[in-house]
Chains A and B, each alone.
Chain A
Amino acid sequence: MLEKNSQLLQVIHLRKNFGAIQAVKDVSFDIAPAEIVAIVGDNGAGKSTVAKVISGAYRRDGGEMLWNGGPYEPHEPDDARDIGIETMYQDLALVNDLDAAGNIFLNREPTRRLFRFLPLLDHKQMRERSAELLRRVKIELPSYDRPVRQLSGGQRQATAIGRILLSERARLIIMDEPTAALGVQEQRKVLELIRNLSDHGMAVMIISHNLEHVFTVSQRVIVLRGGEVAGIVSTAEVQKQDVVSLIMGGGA
């Protein structure tokens, strides 16, 4: 069934209950390195639960997960982060009153010493390295020293991406509704960004309601329905209408 070794992440017969409710009954899929995969499904299909089990926010009740072929058993989000799974939350978890560089380097601030004695935050280095990081994925922010409160939705998203890139360990990035709160222009740019991440060797797992975007950017679509996999399709081979049918459970 599932190929060995070449896969980055393998999810096998995953199960998760909340009390009597089976949010995820039986979900199996895999993600290859640098692949862009979308998870779609109606509300309550189990998309977010699957994502949260992978990112270590929930503990699974059954099944198995493999990371690079080895067992993967996260107890908390830091376990996921340590091996290279990063999650971008819908609210982005930014400190609005700090600038973009400050957010990217939050809790990892470089310091320099004045007169070899007095430690000072190295604002210049933070700004330069932030710009450098984002340039790698072809993003240019208008300012690295302005509170992110004053940035647009797409620019804020870029800042959150910068945080992920700084860790340099990221192999899989989980994005929860990355385009939901954005204008049309910015949605397009975020999709470009997702492709750029993939070009740099990072796999991306998108949770989205927007099939238009899913078909634009992802190679495969995992359709969930009622906590089970209703189908896994390649976007090159099927039409949007087919995926809608899978989501609704009407034929195909």
Chain B
Amino acid sequence: MTGLNTDLSPMRGVGSGAMRAIGGINPLVIALVILYVAIIFWSDRFLAISNQMNITRQVAVYLIIAMGQTFVISSRGIDLSVGSVLGFVGCVVARMIDAGTPVPIGIATGIVLGTAFGTINGLVITKLKVNPLIATLGMLVALRGLTHILMGSTAVTRLPSSLVFLGQGFVGPVPMPAIISLCVVVICWWLYYHTRFGRYTVSIGSNEDACGLAGIHVDRQKILIYAFQGACVGLAATLLVGRLNAASPDLGLNYELHIIAAVVLGGTALYGGLGTIFGTVLGIFTIGVIENGMVLVGANFHVQRVLIGTLLVAAVAYQEYRRRQLERRVV
């Protein structure tokens, strides 16, 4: 027997790891380069180190949440509740610290609380068999209401300097939130590509039945994924409260739209099984650069929304095109 050898050589050299998700170089790299060149043309302040660092600080909170969402979407799930969980956890942590709780305990509480809400999402989705879109939409609405009940019309301001340092401080020229978000990205990259947790996440998104037949505990894995997303949101909430040096009941409103847009923009597929950590980082930065650049250029605030929306649809259209191209090569 000569073996089941079919020449697939045209496929050779298609990248590996993060790049493989959409085959070849992530088109967002090109989009980012174009954005940079265009914005530099209009604004000489844009490229300054201080402004670039400012971008990393602005996107840090988004980036941490989007890391968790990359896992959720890769497993063919979705978590719409991230903005509301962010708001609730942020307010609770701010209240606790304002009332005298030590900052480290406040941060730990934030992460635990976020994990708990994520676990509830996971349990509702797996045990009550509620569609993720609905389960997390319910959480989005209910938790926002709960936050307003908790806070009344008040807001917490002037938090301890150690918490503010986490959100606003610098180490040399590098903002603290940027350092923390980079750590989260590295951990997620390891989890996603080098652990069973990451592998089962993608596999469940690709073929849940096959995973069950192979003996993977599908429900348990899904609950872990949503819990992990919750932990990311919990951490992000404490950073955001530190950065704003305040917490109000509208904290994190509409964040879910930015996060999901960035993850999908980066190349993670909504139908699961296909995701990229690097792509999510690019997606978040693309949105961050547009927001920052448009302010510097002096463009109308609404122009950036038009730009982001258009880019999102264009990116997904391109990914679909690439995917069909790859599938046609099947012999």
Name A's B-contacting residues (CB within 8 A): 77-78, 93-98, 102, 106-107, 109, 111, 118-121, 138-143, 145-146, 149-152, 154-155, 157-158, 163, 186, 189, 192-193, 196
Q: Which B residues lie within 8 Å of A139 (CB)?
A: 1, 3-4
Q: Do B216 and A97 have beta carbons less than 8 Å apart?
A: no
Name B's A-contacting residues (CB within 8 A): 1, 3-8, 11, 16, 190, 194-196, 199, 202-203, 205-207, 209-211, 213-216, 273-274, 326-327, 329-331
Q: Which B residues lie within 8 Å of A154 (CB)?
A: 4, 6
Q: Do A142 and B199 have beta carbons less than 8 Å apart?
A: no
The CB with the most chain A CB atoms within 10 A, among B209, B213, B216, is that of B213
Q: Do B8 and A142 have beta carbons less than 8 Å apart?
A: yes
CA distance A143 to B211 in the complex (A): 22
Q: Do A107 and B215 have beta carbons less than 8 Å apart?
A: yes
Q: Do A146 and B1 have beta carbons less than 8 Å apart?
A: no
Q: Do A106 and B214 have beta carbons less than 8 Å apart?
A: yes
A121 interface neighbour in B1, B194, B209, Cβ under 8 Å: B194
Q: Do A93 and B207 have beta carbons less than 8 Å apart?
A: yes
Asked if A109 meets B199 with Cβ closer than 8 Å, knowing A93-B207, A120-B194, A146-B11, the reply is yes
Q: Other CB < 8 Å A-B pairs besides A118-B190, A149-B330, 6 of them?
A: A95-B211, A97-B274, A107-B214, A121-B196, A141-B5, A157-B4
Asked if A150 meets B11 with Cβ closer than 8 Å, knowing A93-B209, A93-B213, A95-B211, the reply is yes
Asked if A152 meets B4 with Cβ closer than 8 Å, knowing A93-B209, A107-B216, A121-B196, the reply is yes
Q: Do A151 and B199 have beta carbons less than 8 Å apart?
A: no
Q: Do B4 and A141 have beta carbons less than 8 Å apart?
A: yes
CA distance A106 to B330 in the complex (A): 23
B273 interface neighbour in A78, A97, A106, A193, Cβ under 8 Å: A97
- Quick one: closest A residue to B193, CB to CB? A121
Q: Which A residues lie within 8 Å of B202 (CB)?
A: 97-98
- Quick one: closest A residue to B16, CB to CB? A145
Least Cβ distance of A34 to chain B in Å? 18
CA distance A165 to B163 in the complex (A): 56
Least Cβ distance of B210 to chain A in Å? 4
CA distance A193 to B3 in the complex (A): 9
CA distance A129 to B194 in the complex (A): 18
Q: Do A96 and B194 have beta carbons less than 8 Å apart?
A: no
Q: Do A97 and B206 have beta carbons less than 8 Å apart?
A: yes
Q: Which A residues lie within 8 Å of B11 (CB)?
A: 143, 146, 150
Least Cβ distance of A139 to chain B in Å? 5
